[in-house]
Amino acid sequence: MQLAWWALAGFLTLGIALGPLNNTCCLVGPGAQYSSVQSALDAAPSGSTVVVLGGIYRENVVIHKPLRLISVNYAPLLALLTPGNPLLQAADDQRPAVSIEAPNVTFQGFIVRGGQNGVWVQGQHDVRVLNNRILQNDDGIVLDQVQAVWVKNNRVSASQRAGIRVLSSQHVRLVDNNVERNATGIVLEDTQRSLVQNNTFRNHSTGALTLSNAAHNALLGNKILTPGPGLLLNNSPGSVLRGNRLPSGTDAFWVSGDTADAFTQSIGTSNTLGDLPILYLNGLKNRRLKPHLKVGFLALINAKNVTVSNLDMRELPLGALLVNAQHVAFRQSTFDQTRCGLWVIDSQDIVVTDSTISNSQDGALRFESSQDVRVERASISSSGGQGLYALGGGNITLKDSQISRGQASAVWFERVSSGLLLDNVFEHNAQYATLLKETQDVGVRGNRLDANQTGLYLEKAERNVIENNTIQNNQWGIFLLASSRNTIQQNTFGLNVRGSIRGLVDNNTIQDNVEQEQPAE
């Protein structure tokens, strides 16, 4: 029902319309005082309220003074007399549909569509974006260098990039929003001391909730309802997570960072992955863990003198993470169908014994910048990545273990300063049985390298000793590239299709190796 402007003006003049209509100066819509939203905003005094009736408004709106711009649905009494859903359709899709360029602004109750950003706020404070439906923009809502901004009860969908993007801001509240079918749901970058609470996420292709270089934020009670990339904390220390519900999946949750400090988080067991709690422990010391409760993810951060026995992570997608840990042992543990069985970063004196790791997506055992690692009697199979991957660090030992049927390599050592591969079996792996890249002082002794693409590959490797191994049924036995001062001796080769020792072999010691016509049993 449309009322004549004089009737609506009468309500305003008499003060019958309560709440937001107090201080109302302007009414926008068919038959009203203003036909465009921008003309009403330009005429409105600071501190007033502009009410917009239902209709389609093809314009790029700029709010350049403190005021309230609200839909008629949020104006008491007027909403009863003339309800409507005003649509702000960007006239220029290379500009924001709505730009807020003043503090103390409320924007409430609109449909916003077709802009470079749906709503764009830069450098302002005390702004409220409430109860809007924002769809089909490049980015839905962008908050850039703001403080004390509240985004609540919005439905943000079908953005080509992020539903809500917060940049270089503080004290932002994102509460009770429904975020769906965007490339990424909510992104916080370089943002601190903000709250993301009770939001619902569905169907995002590159991530539901991502924090990057965003420290000391609280994520409370959010729900990610569909599988796929979920919650990622990247270089975002000091995050507080409580009561978040995440789907099961290898990309549903992850913490990453350039330093060990980036992993220091407060993540409670009220957060769930699938139906299982996330166990993220900071500073655990002098403990023996025998988890009788299944967990969706186990993280030990800054742990010392901890033994984990009989951990059962079968069909649990994320495995276990150690960061800045010392004297930690995993014994008789089982990992199956995980993203990575065990991922160890910046840690020392780590022991893994009598454990089984199978069907891991990104690799079974991963050690980054870690020292004094010992893996014994491990059974690793059908890994999507490397069986054992070591990047940096030193004194890495793998002994009496079997790594087979991996889609990549059994062992990959890169920039490792010392180590030992002793009495292992590496067979039927799609790439290398062992790769030594920019690695020094590693002993490869007494292993059987059978039916891999390449038995042993050395690239820019020096002073390594390869001896007493059986290398057979591979495409290449040993291949050297830009490597020198290595010793290759007393190995037995059999039926390697393209040769036993190939590549740039000068400046290496090669002696007393044996060729067999039939492979060894």
In sequence order, which ranges of 44-94 are alpha helices (DSSP H)?
Answer: 78-81
pLDDT score at 8: 43
- Of the pLDDT bands very low, low, confident and very high (cuts 50, 70, 90), residue 291 is low
Residues 211-220 pLDDT 10s = 999 999 999 9
- In this model, does residue 1 exceed pLDDT 60? no
Q: What average pLDDT score do residues 117-136 get?
A: 98
In order of their start, the domains of the chain are 1-55+65-84 (no CATH), 362-521 (2.160.20.10)
pLDDT score at 516: 87
Residues 345-381 pLDDT 10s = 999 999 999 999 999 988 999 999 999 999 999 999 9
Residues 10-50 pLDDT 10s = 444 333 333 444 577 899 998 899 999 999 999 999 999 99
What's the CA gap between 501 and 520, in Å, rounded? 18
Q: 117: helix, coil or strand?
A: strand
Residue 307 and residue 331 in contact, taking contact as beta carbons nearer than 8 Å: yes
Q: What is the pTM of this model?
A: 0.88
pLDDT score at 85: 84
- In this model, does residue 301 exceed pLDDT 60? yes
Assign 3-class secondary structure to 335-402. EECCCCCEEEECCEEEEEECCEEECCCCEEEEEECCEEEEEECCEEECCCCEEEEEECCEEEEEECCE
Residues 158-187 pLDDT 10s = 999 999 999 999 999 999 999 999 999 999
Residue 300 and residue 328 in contact, taking contact as beta carbons nearer than 8 Å: yes
